[in-house]
């Protein structure tokens, strides 16, 4: 192999090597650009839309309306309890009625 052929071969290898190095450099630069993007800005705080009077009204409604709300729940609980008691009494009465009817039925069927 002559010196010219050797130099040509080295030149071809260097050209291929320089293309690979250029691709690697471009990839590294692209990675750095994607990693250096600034973070998205934080959302702006919304300004207060009302005055302190709004909060005073809300507090007053809670303080005044709270007992009425409690009383309505208490009334509903009392109604539910009364319904449960009525249902229990009805169940006992029905059981007693069925026992009496059964004994009457047995009594009439024994006499026949």
Lowest-pLDDT choice from 3-12, 45-54, 77-86, 98-107: 45-54
Q: Is the pLDDT of residue 49 over 80?
A: no
Q: Mean pLDDT, to the nearest integer, of 85-94?
A: 96
Q: Is the pLDDT of residue 41 over 90?
A: no
Burial (CB count within 10 angstroms: exposed 0-12, middle 13-18, buried 19+), residue 90 = exposed
Q: Give residue-wise pLDDT tens across range 14-35.
A: 777 788 888 888 888 888 777 7
| Reported pTM | 0.40
Query: How many DSSP H helices and E strands does the chain contain?
Result: 2, 0
DSSP letter for 36, please: T
**Rounded distance between C-alpha atoms, residue 57 and residue 99, angstroms:** 62
> For the residues of 79-95, what is the DSSP string, one character each?
HHHHHHHHHHHHHHHHH
**Rounded distance between C-alpha atoms, residue 112 and residue 109, angstroms:** 5
**Rounded distance between C-alpha atoms, residue 82 and residue 88, angstroms:** 10
Q: Mean pLDDT, to the nearest integer, of 78-93?
A: 96
Domain boundaries, the chain: 1-37
What are the φ and ψ backbone dihedral angles of 45, each rounded to 5 degrees? -70, 135
């Amino acid at each position: 192999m002559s010196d010219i052929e050797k130099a040509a071969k080295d030149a071809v290898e260097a050209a291929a090597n320089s293309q690979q190095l250029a691709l690697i450099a471009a990839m590294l630069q692209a990675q750095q650009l994607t990693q250096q993007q600034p973070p998205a800005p934080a959302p702006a705080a919304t300004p207060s839309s009302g005055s302190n009077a709004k909060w005073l009204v809300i507090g007053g409604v809670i303080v005044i309306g709270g007992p009425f709300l409690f009383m309505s729940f208490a009334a509903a609980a009392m109604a539910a309890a009364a319904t449960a008691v009525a249902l229990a009494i009805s169940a006992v009465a029905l059981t007693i009625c069925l026992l009496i009817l059964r004994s009457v039925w047995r009594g009439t069927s024994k006499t026949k």
